[in-house]
């Protein structure tokens, strides 16, 4: 999870072929918009699933995202990537799903957080062995997914956009309506919290393995 060396680079516009699809879709070409859906639906669904942590909600978010995108294509000015604009819609829809859950007491994404005054995450223990030596790739993926799901939405969303979807810091800030500094701060805390969660998981599993071996 190294920082992106090109974080300060400008946001590039959509490719000519994509821009043409968008323009055709603006003119009512459903086939062109279908091509855009085919290009991004898997990424949008995966992102929505990771934010909502629910398959049904992710399906709803996917549908609503593309419906709203088609209805509001005229508002897309092409000053950023089409995917960035699409992602902003999907994130908003995903967060609305979270807020509608009566039992979900998560913090709103737009709530201001004074990270400078928050306690620093305590020092994290070092793994005795690398996790790759202990667990299969599939088990590692499941462990990581579970750890990501355990993050609060304000941190999980930034982590997903930056480290999973690999958007730049600038694109993530644009999607979420945050400052670049806020994105960097939340991403750092997300990474630290993930490291701590994973450390606990591997330590617990290691203790279980040692217990079985006795």
Question: Domain containing 42: what range?
Answer: 13-104
Q: What are phi and psi of 124, to 5 degrees?
A: -100, 140
Residue 131 lies in a domain: yes
Q: What is the dihedral of CA 192, 193, 198, 199, to 10 degrees?
A: 70
Choose one of 71, 104, 137: the last residue of a domain: 104
Long-range Cβ contacts of 30-35 (<8 Å, 24+ apart): 33/66, 33/70, 33/73
State pTM to two decimals: 0.63
**Cβ–Cβ < 8 Å for 202, 122:** no
The string of pLDDT tens digits covering residues 157-207 is 999 999 989 899 999 999 999 999 999 999 999 998 898 888 887 777 655
**Cβ–Cβ < 8 Å for 183, 162:** yes
Kindly report the CATH number assigned to the domain that includes residue 97. 1.10.1740.10
The string of pLDDT tens digits covering residues 84-119 is 999 999 999 999 998 887 554 544 444 443 434 344
- pLDDT for 15 equals 59
Kindly report the CATH number assigned to the domain that includes residue 189. 1.10.10.10
Residue 91 lies in a domain: yes
- pLDDT for 127 equals 39
- pLDDT for 156 equals 93
Q: CA 181, CA 173: separation in Å to the nearest integer?
A: 9
Neighbours of 14 (CB within 10 A): 19
Residue 6 lies in a domain: no
The string of pLDDT tens digits covering residues 123-162 is 333 334 455 545 667 777 888 888 898 899 999 999 999 9
């Amino acid at each position: 999870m190294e920082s992106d060396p090109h974080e300060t680079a400008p946001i590039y516009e959509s490719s000519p072929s994509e821009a043409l699809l968008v323009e055709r879709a603006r003119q009512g070409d459903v086939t062109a918009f279908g091509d855009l859906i085919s290009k991004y639906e898997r990424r949008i669904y995966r992102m929505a699933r990771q934010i909502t942590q629910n398959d049904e909600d992710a399906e709803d978010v996917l549908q609503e995202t593309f419906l709203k995108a088609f209805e509001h294509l005229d508002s897309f000015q092409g000053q950023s990537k089409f995917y960035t604009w699409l992602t902003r819609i999907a994130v908003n829809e995903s967060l609305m799903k979270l807020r509608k859950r009566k039992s979900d007491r998560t913090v709103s994404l737009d709530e201001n957080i004074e990270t400078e005054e928050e306690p620093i995450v305590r020092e994290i223990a070092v793994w005795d062995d690398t996790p790759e030596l202990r667990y299969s790739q599939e088990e590692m993926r499941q462990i990581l997914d579970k750890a990501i799901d355990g993050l609060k939405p304000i941190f999980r969303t930034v982590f997903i956009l930056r480290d999973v979807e690999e958007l730049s810091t600038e694109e993530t800030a644009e999607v979420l309506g945050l400052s670049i500094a806020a994105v960097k701060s939340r991403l750092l805390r997300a990474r630290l919290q993930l490291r701590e969660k994973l450390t606990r998981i591997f330590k617990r599993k290691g203790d279980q393995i040692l217990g079985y071996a006795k």
